[in-house]
Amino acid sequence: MRRSLVLVAFLLLAAPAEAHRLKVFATVDGDNVQGTAYFAGGGTAANVPGRVLGADGGAMAAFRTDPEGAFRVSVGRTHVHAVVVDGGDGHVATLTLGGEEANAAPAAVAPELAAAVEQAVARQVRPLREQLDAYEAKTRLHDLLGGIGIIIGVFGVFAWIRARPETGHGP
C-alpha cells in the first residue's frame, strides 16, 4: 500500500521533459518571415517542416529549416499571424506574431522608407529577442533547487509515514 502511494506521488510530481521542447523564433522582415527553430538546451532543429499562417489561420507558406535550424520564406506584404514548426514525435512549436511583427507600413510614410526602417529595427531587435528566448529556455539555479526541494519533501513525507507508530487496528 505504501509503495503504491509513493509511486502515485512520484507520478503526480512528474513534469514534462524540457530537454526536447521545441522552440521557434521568427520576425517579419519586409516581405519575408525569417527565424530559427531549436530545442530547449541548445540543439538545432535541422530539416524540420513548418508553415506560416495568415490572420484567418490558413497556411500562407510552407518551409523547411536548414541544417542550423534557420528558415526564411517570402509571404508578401500580407498580415502574418503565426509560425508553426513541427519536429515530429509531438514536438510542435507555435509563435504568434503580435502587432510589432505585423508588416503593415504606416500610410503617411513612403513605403520605401517604412521598409528600410522595418529592416533596420528588425536587425537590431532580433538578437535581443533570440537572447531573451534562449534565456527563458535555460534551466536556472532556482529551477534546480526547486527540484531538489521537491525530492527532499517527498522523501520526508515517506520517512514520516514510515516512522508513524502502528495503531494496532485489526489482527
pLDDT given at position 113? 75
89's torsion region: left (phi>0), alpha (psi -120 to 50) or beta? left
Which amino acid, one-letter code, is at 123? R
pLDDT of residue 4: 64
Give pLDDT, residue 105.
46
pTM of the complete model: 0.53
Q: Which three cell numbers stand for residue 77?
A: 506584404
User: Among residues 121, 114, 122, 124, which one has the least CA distance to residue 33?
Assistant: 122
CA distance 81 to 52: 8
pLDDT in the model for residue 170:
52
Query: CA-CA distance, 24 to 34, in Å (whole number)?
Result: 10
The C-alpha cell at 130 is 533570440
Half-sphere exposure of 60 (CA within 13 A, CB side): 21
pLDDT, tens digit (0-9, with 9 covering 90-100), for 33-57 = 888 888 876 777 889 999 998 888 8
Query: What structural domains and CATH numbers belong to the chain?
Result: 2-15+141-163 (no CATH), 22-137 (2.60.40.10)
The predicted structure's pLDDT at residue 149 = 92
Digits of tens for pLDDT over the chain (171 positions)?
666 666 666 555 554 444 467 888 888 877 888 888 888 767 778 899 999 988 888 888 899 999 988 899 888 766 777 889 988 777 888 888 765 555 544 445 567 776 777 777 777 777 777 777 777 666 677 778 888 999 999 999 999 988 887 765 655
What was the pLDDT predicted at 107? 47
**Per-residue model confidence (pLDDT) at position 49:** 93
